[in-house]
A and B are shown apart, each in its own frame.
Chain A
Amino acid sequence: MSHYYEEQDLERFQEIGKYRPELYDNFMNYYQGVMAGGALTTREKALIALAVAHTVQCPYCIDAYTRASLEVGSNLEEMTEAIHVAAAIRAGATLIHGIQAHNVAAKITI
């Protein structure tokens, strides 16, 4: 193993099911149910997944959902916009925690 993240490991995902396969099966059923078209289209869901993949910074998910987004007809403009949404929420979440810093500072300063 030359790197912690190996590209080909994505295809080995199902090996996780070797132990406690019932948990893996439960996960897969849930996962496939979530990602199927419903009130949201598969195209919209792929863009959400791509955005989330960036917030969790999972290279496997970024790889998978970049391909998935292209395969449902999305373009780089839409994908980049989705990533910006993720980034904006992360930035906003960071900033709102700044209030905690202010609160702490207010509490301990004269």
Chain B
Amino acid sequence: MKFDVKYEIGVVWQDFQHKQLIDLFRQIKEARSKKKDENLYRYTLAFLSMYVNQHFKLEEEYMEKYGYPDKAVHQKDHQKFVKELKEFKFENMDYSEAGTEDLLARMEDWILSHILENDQKLGKFILSFEQKESSP
């Protein structure tokens, strides 16, 4: 997956957080291809829980404060992800090859369908809002 340029919007905190997720995705994908993903598996699950907590909270804070028109849809996406992650963790607490494969597919889907789509729109909105706010 090549997202280096595509996913950066210019909202530094948001780009940073997306990069963290994408970096981890690459790392565990690479580890999986070498069959060394067992150690990373638990870490990835722990990271994702922390990540959704932090990252979604921030995005939602911005949507709320800046009055983002697509807030409801975006938030629903977040809620769905949180719910699915919770279910996934419940069913796949212990490492398995299939578990990593499943997790990889979910992360890839999230990156393509959410980070590269809705989050781009939100990022652009944040930028334009802040620039508008700062015009004299």
Q: Is B truly associated with A?
A: no
Which residue numbers of B lie inside 8 Å of A, CB to CB?
Answer: none
